[in-house]
Amino acid sequence: MIRRGYTVITPSACAVEVVDTTKGFKISEVLATNPQGSWIEYETTDFLNEKSTINPKIGEVEKSNSVMFYLSRSIKDKPEQRIFVIGDADCLSVKELSTSRAGLNGANFSMITEMFRSLSYDEYPINTDRVRPPDDDLYISQDAMIWVKIGFIWLIPLAIMVWSIVFLIKRKRR
């Protein structure tokens, strides 16, 4: 995506790192930050009022940090297990899909569709059709339709008005 000028926009991403490699997962890095201007901050806690600066004395290193991993492993007699671990769920939100930023060509929608494609074992798009229920039709004769019309246009509003008047009268008496 970088070669084509696209970016996955992760406004509040935090770095993710591999802690345990003994579970048999094949781990692939999917998203990472640029090496310039990216480090894990250990000192600053109030990012609104304080300016964060890199401090190599306490172990802060300016480097590319992983933001998203893809894990997969084979399980006996089952389909391959597939997992995405991402350090920013906001990049999957509808708000992020509809937000445009100057100078950035967001590729979040493409990332989401490819994630679903991978998780559904390349059976994408997912079929969400439902069987139509047998009782979803309503048949009313013309004679009955007159009474439905009278009910909705006159009787229900009249009942609401009478109930409101009775309610107001009772409330005034107290």
The predicted structure's pLDDT at residue 7: 82
Residue 27, H or E segment: strand 26-32
pTM greater than the 0.75 cutoff: no
Q: Tell me 133's DSSP state.
A: P
The predicted structure's pLDDT at residue 130: 81
Backbone angles phi, psi at 56, to 5 degrees: -65, -20
In this structure, of 17-21, 26-30, 41-45, 131-135, the range with the lowest mean pLDDT score is 131-135
The predicted structure's pLDDT at residue 4: 67
Match 């992020």 to its residue by tokens: 96
Cβ atoms of 97 and 113 closer than 8 Å: no
Residue 137 to residue 157: CA distance in whole angstroms: 26
Please state, rounded to an integer, the average pLDDT across all residues of the chain: 88
Cβ atoms of 67 and 33 closer than 8 Å: yes
Exposed / middle / buried, residue 10 (Cβ in 10 Å: 0-12, 13-18, 19+): buried
CA distances from 109 to 2, 76, 87, 92 (A): 15, 33, 17, 8
Exposed / middle / buried, residue 69 (Cβ in 10 Å: 0-12, 13-18, 19+): buried
- Span 98-149, pLDDT tens digits: 777 777 778 888 888 889 889 988 887 667 778 888 887 888 999 999 999 9
Question: SS3 for 170?
Answer: helix
